[in-house]
Amino acid sequence: MESKWLEDFISLALTHSFSRSAEQRHVTQSAFSRRIKSLEAWIGTDLIDRTSFPTSLTREGHLFYEQAIAMLGQINDVRALLRENRSNTQSSIDFAVHHTLALTYTPKWLTRLKSGIGPFSARLMASNVHDAVMVLSEGGCDLLLTFYHPLQPLQLDATRYDMMIVGCEKLCAYSRCDQAGRAEFALPGSANAPLPYLSYASTAYLGRIVDLIQADAINALHLEKCYETGTAEALKMMVLEGHGIAFLPESAVVHELAQQQLVRADSPQLRWETDMEIRLYREKSTIQKPGKRLVAQLWDYLQPHQL
């Protein structure tokens, strides 16, 4: 049994709607429904009355509801206790990082930090943007390093969190090179011959940025989705195998561009791209939660260098 199943069930009990709860939980409705079914399989009985509208709980569901709240409360209390104990380790910094940045930007960035403020231990939790933000908001990390686009803002309260811009990133379309060094699949394609398109999952942050690129394009793209996944690295491997085009962060393909394995799928005359910021967030220190001295030292070191 997973704690997120309990959170899903409690949300559904409050909203009486699979679609609204799925939206709140930032998953597709089909994935949300599967998780509820997994919880019911684990319990061994139906918790949701699917014959009624709006959705309601069965008798067993009502009995389990109070227990689910209690169990989740106990889990959160234990987690808070253990995190508080870990936060006393002043020589270590916990980072929540977007998984692409964890592979491309973070290693060299940490090298620069350590050369500036001295050696320290780092614990990296790589995930998608939504989960990384949740880790920060729930007190599970000291710093959040993530992509940011003004048309897809993060829901972080500026009165509670400090922010600085530490880098920038360009999101562009790439294709495998042919023997002449040109793109095997060149944008924009045509209505009669759409290009095979390797897409991010609908819940992925970079997928929503790609949607913005396509929506703002003066020249329409003709794409036929043939593959979907959640990470840029997985899409890059499919592009390298010649399965189609994908929009990838520029830093993720530096080596492949240098080796002439990949090339931009657009042209200097027609560009489909956008710029993103790389942002660093921390929770503001208070008397009750003063934060780690090492985190404050890192923040002060970066402050003059932010973009």
- One domain for residues 176 and 270: yes
Closest CA to 131 of 25, 16, 45: 25
- Among 59, 85, 111, which residue terminates a domain? 85
Closest CA to 265 of 183, 157, 181, 146: 183
Confidence of residue 174 (pLDDT cuts 50, 70, 90): very high
- Among 85, 101, 135, which residue terminates a domain? 85
- One domain for residues 176 and 268: yes
Closest CA to 207 of 193, 227, 190, 178: 227
Backbone region of residue 26 per phi and psi (left: phi > 0; alpha: psi in -120 to 50; beta: other values): left
The pLDDT score that the predictor gives to residue 90 is 62
Confidence of residue 98 (pLDDT cuts 50, 70, 90): very high
3-state secondary structure of 225: strand
For residue 55, give both structure tokens. Answer: 């959705």
Rounded average pLDDT over 235-260: 96
- One domain for residues 126 and 247: no
Q: Which domain holds residue 243?
A: 169-275
Mean pLDDT of the residues in the chain? 89
- The answer for residues whose C-beta is within 8 angstroms of residue 306's C-beta and 6 or more apart is 164, 165, 166
- One domain for residues 196 and 160: no
Lowest mean pLDDT, pick from 24-33, 108-117, 229-238: 24-33
Highest mean pLDDT among 130-134, 154-158, 263-267: 263-267
Rounded average pLDDT over 129-134: 86
Cα(111)–Cα(117) distance, rounded to whole angstroms? 10
Rounded average pLDDT over 161-165: 95
Rounded average pLDDT over 235-258: 96
Torsion sign (Cα): 234, 239, 243, 245: positive
Rounded average pLDDT over 258-281: 93
- One domain for residues 259 and 240: yes
Rounded average pLDDT over 74-83: 69
Q: C-alpha distances in angstroms, 140 versus 71, 92, 175, 234, 239?
A: 19, 13, 38, 27, 35
Percent of the chain with pLDDT over 70: 95
The pLDDT score that the predictor gives to residue 155 is 82
- One domain for residues 159 and 289: yes
- Among 68, 85, 102, which residue terminates a domain? 85
* 0.85 surpassed by pTM: no
User: The domain that contains 292 carries what CATH number?
Assistant: 3.40.190.10
- One domain for residues 282 and 142: yes
- One domain for residues 173 and 264: yes
More confident residue, 150 or 73: 150
The pLDDT score that the predictor gives to residue 73 is 80
pLDDT > 60? residue 87: no
- One domain for residues 9 and 70: yes
Confidence of residue 111 (pLDDT cuts 50, 70, 90): very high
CA 269 to the chain's CA centroid? 32
Contacts of range 105-114, beta carbons closer than 8 Å, 24 or more positions apart: 105/145, 105/167, 105/169, 105/251, 105/278, 106/145, 109/166, 109/167, 113/298, 113/301, 113/302
Closest CA to 166 of 53, 301, 35, 261: 301
- One domain for residues 177 and 262: yes
pLDDT > 80? residue 306: no
The pLDDT score that the predictor gives to residue 28 is 84
- One domain for residues 190 and 237: yes
Q: How many domains does the chain have?
A: 3
Q: C-alpha distances in angstroms, 111 versus 17, 138, 188, 206, 294?
A: 48, 28, 40, 26, 16
- One domain for residues 137 and 264: no
pLDDT > 90? residue 257: yes
User: The domain that contains 31 carries what CATH number?
Assistant: 1.10.10.10
Each residue's pLDDT tens digit, 18-33: 888 888 887 888 888 8
Confidence of residue 80 (pLDDT cuts 50, 70, 90): low
